[in-house]
């Protein structure tokens, strides 16, 4: 029933929800929009090589959404957000075939060049380093310390990555919202799914400070601090 309103896609892989939320924040802050619906949705099962056990066992399909509106007078809202991309690392997690650089052929399809390819060790190291630095930056810009955080809703990529980020931020793992064991890595859908579950079950409440962070193909990543 929302007729004649603008809608567009964002391609930022697993970091897509952070990108979408930050873009929506700009529309609202400038007065160009009053409320914005941000949706993270993935059908990764369509682009997986089911013979490649280094990728197919990790990912899942899912969707989650938030509605953003003007901040209330009690200090709620997005306190800080930062987005980054390093294209030199794109080959660590990508779909090599099907674009202008490598048009798809019958041979390419047979070799699964139109499916996800990942160098896991490179993504692992990059994720820990970049998620930690981006999260530290938004904490500083928000004037907060790790001790003043209530929850972290991280992209549900890998529990080992999240554990490493927890240690480097000095924020306990039991304050991270985790559901990776239920759904796997649902890419841009993982943060809104975890956020929704934690709000519904009462863990995340109004007035709490929540850090969100994600990294994905591109390589693109970002973090945000939200006061609920």
- Which is the catalytic residue, given 117, 130, 185, 213? 185
Residue 185 falls in the annotated catalytic set? yes
Give me the sheet containing 151-154, strands edge to edge.
Answer: 77-85, 220-227, 209-216, 151-154
Residues 6+ positions from 80 with CB-CB distance below 8 Å:
138, 141, 142, 224, 225
Q: Residue-wise over 144-162: b if at least 16 C-beta within 10 A, else e?
A: bebeebebbbbbbbbeebb
Residues 6+ positions from 150 with CB-CB distance below 8 Å:
175, 204, 208, 209, 210
Q: Determine the Cα–Cα distance for residues 20 and 73; give it in Å rounded to an integer.
A: 24
- Which is the catalytic residue, given 117, 155, 158, 213? 155
Q: Which of 136, 125, 135 is nearest to 158 (CA)?
A: 125
- Which stretches does DSSP call E strand in the chain? 36-42, 62-68, 77-85, 93-94, 117-118, 151-154, 209-216, 220-227
- Which is the catalytic residue, given 14, 117, 130, 158? 14
Catalytic residues: 14, 155, 185
């Amino acid at each position: 029933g929302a007729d004649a309103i603008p809608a567009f896609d964002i391609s930022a892989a697993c970091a897509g929800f952070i990108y979408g939320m930050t873009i929506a924040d700009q529309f609202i802050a400038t007065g160009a929009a009053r409320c914005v619906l941000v949706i993270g949705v993935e059908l990764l099962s369509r682009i997986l090589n089911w013979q490649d056990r280094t990728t197919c066992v990790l990912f899942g399909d899912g969707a989650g959404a938030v509605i953003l509106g003007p901040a209330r007078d009690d200090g709620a809202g997005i306190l800080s957000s930062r987005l980054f991309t390093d294209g030199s690392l794109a080959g660590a997690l990508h779909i090599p075939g099907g674009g202008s650089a490598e048009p798809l052929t019958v041979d390419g399809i047979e070799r699964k060049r139109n499916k996800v390819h990942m160098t896991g060790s490179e993504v692992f190291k990059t994720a820990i380093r970049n998620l930690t630095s981006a999260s530290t930056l938004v904490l500083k810009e928000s004037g907060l310390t790790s001790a003043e955080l209530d929850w972290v809703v991280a992209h549900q990529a890998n529990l080992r990555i999240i554990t490493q980020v927890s240690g480097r931020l000095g924020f306990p793992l039991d304050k991270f919202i985790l559901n990776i064991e239920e759904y796997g890595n649902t890419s841009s859908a993982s943060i809104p799914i975890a956020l929704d579950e934690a709000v519904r079950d009462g863990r995340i409440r109004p007035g709490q400070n929540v850090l969100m962070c994600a990294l994905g193909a591109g390589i693109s990543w970002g973090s945000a601090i939200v006061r609920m």
